[in-house]
Each structure stands twice: as structure tokens, then as C-alpha cells.
Amino acid sequence: MTASTPKATNIVWHEASVDRAARADKRGHRSAILWFTGLSGSGKSTLANAVNAALFERGLATYVLDGDNVRHGLCKDLGFSDADREENIRRIGEVAKLFLDAGVIVLTAFVSPFRADRDKARDLVEEGDFFEIFCAADLDVCESRDPKGLYAKARSGAIKEFTGISSPYEAPDTPELKIDTGAQELAESVEVVIKALQDKGVIPAA
């Protein structure tokens, strides 16, 4: 599956009565997409949820889109072929864009292994709205964690097309943040993300 020209015809874009700028003014913070990417077991979901909790405690509007969770609903019709992975990320990019327009800081935690797919998600929004956060734990660290037992299954051949083992992961060239989630403490990683958001004017200083 790949993105293509819309099949629907006779459709018109309707402007909302409340726009993104008004929401930002009302809430006291900008919206943004925080795109956590990395191998399975690299700590994407853990870090995304910890950042989410920290932002929520500050009274900010946030939401986490988790790779496993969306495959229970929005993307339950997709497998793990290259084409399905591409469509998975295309859908998430569009959903994240909706959250951005709604004035929410949306945190996405997806392996999203292909650089081109992540770039397409970035290109959906304006510069400065998309923060690619590379959870850069080494493969041996991720495999030693193996919280879901997936690496063991992939090594045995029970799981085909598994990123890092039988399918490639293309690391970001120039992410907004690169965090060594294999060595850095979680609390320290959270502070790195929070500071970046403050420095870029997404959220106010504490």
C-alpha cells in the first residue's frame, strides 16, 4: 500500500471556527509532533510515556500514539511488509497532523524503520512542528532487553521481516534529538526532551 492521489471527488476543505493559533493562545503552549523512532526495545514507548506524564503534570495537552496500540484498531489491517509499514506510517503521520491542528503535543512511538517514510511524515507539517527523536540504543542492548520476546522469535525464524534482524532500520541522519536510551537514565532523557521543547518555544519554561 502506498499513498496516492485521493480517490474521493467533489470534496471541499472546510475551515474550522477555532484554529490552531487560537488553541495555542488559550492553552499557553504550542502544539508539536514528537516522533520517537528506534529499534524494538530501544525505549521509545517508555520515553514517550515518561515525557507525556511530565508534560501532563504541567497542565499541557498531550497524547501518545503507540505502535502496538494503533495496530489494534486504525492499522489492524496491516502486516509488516515494506508496503504495509509504509502505509502504517502514512496513516500515523496524517493522524499526528490532526492532533497538531487540534493544539495537542502528540508523541508517536513507532519503529518507523524507513527514513523516507519518516521524512514524508515530517513534510506534512511546517518546519519547527516536527521533532524526530532517535532512541539510539544499540541492537545488542535492545536484544538483551527483549521485553516482548520478539528478538528470540525473530532469531528462531518464527517472526519474519523483523527490524534489526531480517529487515533493515535506517537511522535518522539529522534528528532533532539523538538520545542514547541504552545508557542514559530515563529521568535524564526526559529532561533532555523537555529542555528542547522549552528552547524551541513549544512549551513555557517551568
Q: Which three cell numbers stand for residue 38?
A: 528506534
Q: Do 107 and 202 touch, CB atoms closer than 8 A?
A: no
Q: Say which of 112, 144, 156, 189 is annotated catalytic.
A: 112
Is 112 in the active site?
yes
Beta bridge partners of 62: 105
CA distance 140 to 183: 12
User: Nearest 5°: phi and psi at 96?
Assistant: -60, -35
CA distance 57 to 47: 15
Provide the strand spans (E) within the chain. Answer: 32-37, 62-66, 105-109, 130-135, 177-179
H-helix or E-strand containing 72? none
Q: Which residues are catalytic?
A: 112
